A = this chain, B = another copy of it.
Amino acid sequence: MNRTTQTKRTTIYDLAELAGTSASAVSAVLNGNWKKRRISAKLADKITKLAEEQGYALNMQASVLRRERSKIIGMIVPKYDNRYFGSIVEQFETLARERGLFPIITCTRRDPALEVEAARAMLSYQVDCLIATGATDPDRIVDLCAAAGVRTINLDLPGARAPSVISDNYGGALELTRRVLANCEKEYGEKTPLLFVGGRGTDHNTMERVRGFRDAHAEAGVTVDETLMLTCGYAPEKAESAMRQLAERLSPLPRGMFVNSTISLEGVMRWIRRSGHYAGRVPQLGCFDWDPFVAMLGDHIEMVRQDVPKMLEAVFGIIDSGATDLTVVQIPPIVEKIG
């Protein structure tokens, strides 16, 4: 019957032949609207059994081609190398599947050209909706999609031309900076400005975090040191070399720092361990992003954990409601007690 070496896949026409009925009946039965199409329960049963026996699998390409909506939902994401994006993707898949949508995800390695290429590819696959996560140029992507009549939602980084769901970066940074400043004062009895390292000075999140950072300093009556604002990019290597250069021109180094992402923290920590600076007197750290092992590095680190479940609920809330107004939904992150 169902040979394992079959070359051609079973189609509704094959099943129709076997069942002695029409392809149209088979289609109706297998996609569930056989009642609407007045197919008898008896025939429906027969066809269902046959399909199972023959190992029939729907050809989505044919199905999507014919239908109005593809039920495919796309997401582009910068990297898979940290817990934040990892959980975004995992949660996205789960919520998409719950809604009967097929999620396709692609990673663009923070490369603007790849972002556009990836968006184009998704459009070719007829996605109904595209989530642009942490995109360097979200508006470009929105325009591409709009031309094809495809909805877009920005996640993590906001855009001007589509609804966006982001963290409350200002609030998170404000609280994080407060804590690090307090820790510094407690530990060293000093009220000195913190170092800010990591992120791109041009991206919305970094700018908001810088604003929170500044306001927390102002609150505490500490003047921000402009030479300590190192928005050198996210990559570990960039953070590491920024630290190296800082150490060449400055001594002593700041007592505390605000590190903008776990990815940048990776570089900062590497530099701290390799350079031998800070030996014996660890700096007070604040990290905007959470990682379980960072949490174990010591009690001198505070972390902000972005609320991924809430963020994705907000995303799907927008999708489900069909809203298209250009709101920016801000989800408060969780400032984690260490340990």
Contacts and interface: CB of A to CB of B under 8 A. Distances in A.
B107 A90 contact: yes
Nearest to A88: B80
A43 B82 CA distance: 49
A327 interface: no
A4 B146 CA distance: 6
A60 interface: yes
Contacts of A103: 106
Contacts of A310: none
Contacts of A90: 79-81, 107, 109
Given A86-B86, A107-B93, A124 B79 contact: no
A278 B36 CA distance: 67
A238 to B, nearest CB: 15
A148 B57 contact: yes
A6 to B, nearest CB: 7
A330 interface: no
A299 B105 CA distance: 37
A139 interface: no
A229 interface: no
Contacts of A124: 57-60
B107 A121 contact: no
A120 B57 CA distance: 7
Given A62-B65, A292-B266, A296-B273, A89 B80 contact: yes
Nearest to A150: B9
Number of copies: 2
Interface in A50-89: 55, 57-62, 64-65, 70, 79-83, 85-87, 89
> Considering residues A105, A109, A236, A262, which has the most beta carbons from chain B within 10 angstroms of its beta carbon?
A105
Nearest to A62: B65
Given A57-B148, A61-B70, A87 B93 contact: no
Contacts of A269: 292-293, 296
A273 to B, nearest CB: 6
Contacts of A16: none
Given A269-B296, A297-B296, A339-B273, A147 B59 contact: no
Contact of A125 (B4, B60, B89, B105): B60
Contact of A61 (B7, B8, B65, B296): B65
Contacts of A109: 90
A107 B123 contact: no
A332 to B, nearest CB: 23
A328 interface: no
A207 interface: no
B125 A61 contact: yes
Given A55-B144, A59-B65, 11 more contacts: A55-B148, A57-B123, A57-B148, A60-B124, A60-B125, A61-B61, A80-B80, A80-B85, A81-B90, A262-B293, A269-B293
